[in-house]
Structure 1
Amino acid sequence: MTTNDHTAQVRARIDEHADELAALGRANEDLGRLDDQAAKVLRDSGVMRLLQPKQHGGREAHPRDFAETVMRIAGLDGATGWVAGIVGVHPWEMAMADERVQEEVWGSDPDTWIASPYAPMGVLTPVEGGYTLKGRWQFSSGTDHCDWIFLGAMVGDADGKPAQPVTQAHVILPRADYTIVADSWDVVGLRGTGSKDIVVEDAYVPAYRTLLYNDVADGTAAKRAGLTETGYHVPFSCVFPLGITSAVIGICEGALAHHAAWQASRTTISGAASKDDPYALYALSEAAADIAASRAALLDNVTGMYDAVARGHVPTFAERAAGRRTQVQAAWRAVRALDEVVARSGGNAMRMDNPIQRFWRDAHTGLAHAIHVPGPTFHAAGLGDLGLEPPAGPLRSMI
């Protein structure tokens, strides 16, 4: 069976439960996490296995297939799509980890989910055989349904202070080694993602459960792991943001669909039918074109990167920065387009029983993710256009 066949199976299962996932959107929001049934549908669909290595029951799908699947889910419910996009990326990196931890995570259950975040909010203190880890992290999406986690940390010295030069690591922990802070996710959008805080108090981490961030970012980890599938050699700065931006674009597509359905039967306060309003139709068409352009740009970007890697090319910093610029701009373009149609949906679109307002809030919250901050990325990409590279520091971050 080919990767495309596997992806088609996943999408068919999502389509089979499309009405159910859409209907669970309100329940997810009320719970402040994914409803157990929504999580079950995702688990049963196989979406989280798309980027997982085949030796552990995964599909090793093309990252474009993964992105399109996330968009489809997010178009049904933003929180469900967001969790699929973020949790679904983690098996891609786990494929680069030591085989011992892969076996610990997936050996008895290939459907085990892995949470994050990657922000280096903890410190690894060296001890015999590994490290101890301490810290507090925000924004662990889907974490209630995950049994392992990736956490970003700074490698420390013997005193528990960040060592110099600064070295970042991704640390892999089982659920028993961290605490989920129950009431730490009270937000305006993406409420159903349950992106709660994580606390670790002096957990012991064997050295084999760590990956150096630079090794992941520059492709060393994938080569060291002996991975041959092209997708694992696409830059981290392309694959990691992919699930997040795919979710945002999918949310905008979902909102657009709800707006169109709403406008088809809506009558304004003046008594005129919205379907007869040329200005409303113009706004709808313009937004549809911009959201479609965002989809196309994101998918073309990851496909181009994949194809270049398949030819044996190692993407340069300037190419990675340009790719990140495309990804960031795709998210902003889609959300700006969404704003144009929501502003023309009328006051009743803001009622809590109308899904338009939830998609709108979810999209803006997704745009606020650090991966969508345009300034440093656009600056770095602009220097690349001039044939220059930025110095070490913030302008190279997440590229």
Structure 2
Amino acid sequence: MPDARLADVARSLEPLIRRHEDELERGRGLPRELVDAMYDQGVFSAFVPRELGGREVDLLEWLDMIEELSRINGSVGWNAFINAGVTPLPAATMRRILARDRWITAGNLARVAGVARRVDGGYRVSGRWPFASGASFATYLFGVSLLQGDDGALATDPATGAPVPVGAVFPAAQVTVHDTWDGLGLRGTSSVDFEVADAFVPDEMTTLDLLAGPYPGRLFRGPFFILMGHCAHAVGVARGAIDAFVDLVQRTQARPARGSRRQLRLGQQQAHQVAVARAESLVQSARLFARDAAARGWEDAIDNDVVDYHLRVLMAQSMIHCARAAKEAVELLFERAGTSAVHRGQPLERCYRDIVTAAQHSLVTEASYETIGQYYLTRGLPGGPRIDLTSTVIMPPHPQRS
């Protein structure tokens, strides 16, 4: 596996990404040449353990890479983050897979969209999962189902009464990919639906936790580390928008004889100068918050199998804050740029569409602050904190029982 620093890997891919930008938008997925290059550089094996030949990244270096790729192109950064090679299966199973296949993963772990029936040696699974970014080029796809009893009713956990989830890993040959992705932004992410119908899944390809693996490294302490990619992606797209706004201003000022009166004054009015300063402040402060939360969580994972709960709250909080702050910054610049930014193919226009779309993800909407607020309001109370575990973005385990 290449040992270049991850941010340098991102920069080395920039010429190829720039060459394929139009194709990313039109084709609504990564071109094969770009998939191959990202795979060869280890982008899709960031969360594969070293013992299996993966990168097993340093978290902060990985965030650098996601941020840089997202600055270059929001769709590429999104796929690098989402399709980072999470490895939930045991080493013996993975070695058999890696002996014959690439390990490029995709799926939708937030949506329980299938049913699983217990059969001899495994499960029979049927379901359809939406928004599976990267499904068109993934070699293995993840989906969560609920266990169904022989009578057709959902099985429940005797201890809790809750439905029983079954996480399954499907080879690409076992699934049907539906070309459903035609989004406003992140158009090149291939965030399509995939479906299986009565697919047999052996026990070795199932797990209770599709976002963590049975490996000793601190990268595998839980799902919160990979989810910090939301922070880096949002900051990177916003950084791309700031760069595009500054470039637009400089190009406009370099040809003063052309354009409308408003365009000719672009960058020279107080409103434009305040906008870029505010955008920089929003993005830089959000980045610092996220990096501090990530660094503290990463350090805590050195000695603890379960990262401190307050640090997991901070990571979830920073994830939401980065998305909201980046969206605010890009919207501010897009508005100030006027009609100069509205044409397809303008970098600021694409950044605008990308961040608006990314900020719609269920983990980073404004409403996701709800359980963060519950935590701060109740953590000092007897028996606190008290949060709604049915809708929280804070990753388990939780100190409260229910």
TM-score, length-scaled by structure 2: 0.87
| Residue 229 of structure 1: aligned partner | 217
1:287 to 270, 279, 294: 279
Deviation at residue 316 of structure 1 after TM alignment: 4.4
Contact 2:266/2:337, CA 8 A, preserved across alignment: no
| Residue 194 of structure 1: aligned partner | 190
1:154 paired with 2:146, answer yes
2:241 to 248, 252, 255: 255
Deviation at residue 55 of structure 1 after TM alignment: 1.8
1:350 paired with 2:342, answer yes
1:120 paired with 2:112, answer yes
Q: Distance in 2 between matches of 1:338 and 1:107?
A: 44
TM-score, length-scaled by structure 1: 0.88
Contact 1:325/1:381, CA 8 A, preserved across alignment: no
Q: Distance in 2 between matches of 1:208 and 1:315?
A: 28
| Residue 179 of structure 1: aligned partner | 176
Deviates more, 1:77-86 or 1:248-257: 248-257
- Aligned pairs (5 A) from 1:331-350: 331-350=323-342
Contact 1:380/1:389, CA 8 A, preserved across alignment: no
Q: CA RMSD in A?
A: 2.3
Deviation at residue 12 of structure 1 after TM alignment: 2.8
2:125 to 133, 136, 145: 133
Contact 1:177/1:200, CA 8 A, preserved across alignment: yes
Deviation at residue 296 of structure 1 after TM alignment: 2.0
- How many equivalent residue pairs? 379
Contact 1:78/1:247, CA 8 A, preserved across alignment: yes
Gaps of 5+ in 1: none
1:306 paired with 2:295, answer no
Contact 1:181/1:196, CA 8 A, preserved across alignment: yes
Cα–Cα, structure 1 residues 344 and 46, in superposed 2: closer, same or farther, change >3 Å?
Answer: same
Deviation at residue 264 of structure 1 after TM alignment: 1.4
Q: Distance in 2 between matches of 1:199 and 1:24?
A: 29
Deviation at residue 203 of structure 1 after TM alignment: 0.3
Runs of 4+ off more than 6 Å:
none
Deviates more, 1:70-79 or 1:43-52: 43-52
Q: Distance in 1 between matches of 2:345 and 2:3?
A: 36
Q: Distance in 2 between matches of 1:126 and 1:302?
A: 39
In structure 1, what residue type is equivalent to 2:39? R
Q: Distance in 2 between matches of 1:17 and 1:44?
A: 11
Cα–Cα, structure 1 residues 78 and 252, in superposed 2: closer, same or farther, change >3 Å?
Answer: same
| Residue 68 of structure 1: aligned partner | 64
Cα–Cα, structure 1 residues 81 and 141, in superposed 2: closer, same or farther, change >3 Å?
Answer: same
Cα–Cα, structure 1 residues 391 and 336, in superposed 2: closer, same or farther, change >3 Å?
Answer: closer
Give CA-to-partner distance per residue, 1:325-379, whole Å, 9 cap, x none: 1211111111111111111112021101212111110111111111213435432
1:38 to 28, 34, 41: 34
1:142 to 130, 134, 141: 134
Cα–Cα, structure 1 residues 396 and 343, in superposed 2: closer, same or farther, change >3 Å?
Answer: closer
Contact 2:374/2:385, CA 8 A, preserved across alignment: no
1:209 paired with 2:205, answer yes
Q: Distance in 2 between matches of 1:12 and 1:325?
A: 29
Deviation at residue 398 of structure 1 after TM alignment: 5.5
1:48 paired with 2:44, answer yes
In structure 2, what residue type is equivalent to 1:230? R
Cα–Cα, structure 1 residues 398 and 157, in superposed 2: closer, same or farther, change >3 Å?
Answer: farther
In structure 1, what residue type is equivalent to 2:203? A
Q: Distance in 2 between matches of 1:179 and 1:104?
A: 23
Gaps of 5+ in 2: 157-161, 254-258, 396-402
Contact 1:25/1:79, CA 8 A, preserved across alignment: no
2:228 to 242, 254, 265: 242
Contact 2:371/2:392, CA 8 A, preserved across alignment: no
Contact 2:241/2:348, CA 8 A, preserved across alignment: yes
Q: Distance in 2 between matches of 1:162 and 1:168?
A: 10
Question: What percentage of residue pairs aligned between the two structures are identical?
Answer: 20
Q: Distance in 2 between matches of 1:162 and 1:252?
A: 44
Which is helix-richer, 1 or 2? 1
Deviation at residue 158 of structure 1 after TM alignment: 2.2
Contact 1:124/1:134, CA 8 A, preserved across alignment: yes
Cα–Cα, structure 1 residues 18 and 382, in superposed 2: closer, same or farther, change >3 Å?
Answer: same
In structure 1, what residue type is equivalent to 2:181? W
Deviates more, 1:369-378 or 1:69-78: 369-378
Deviates more, 1:377-386 or 1:195-204: 377-386
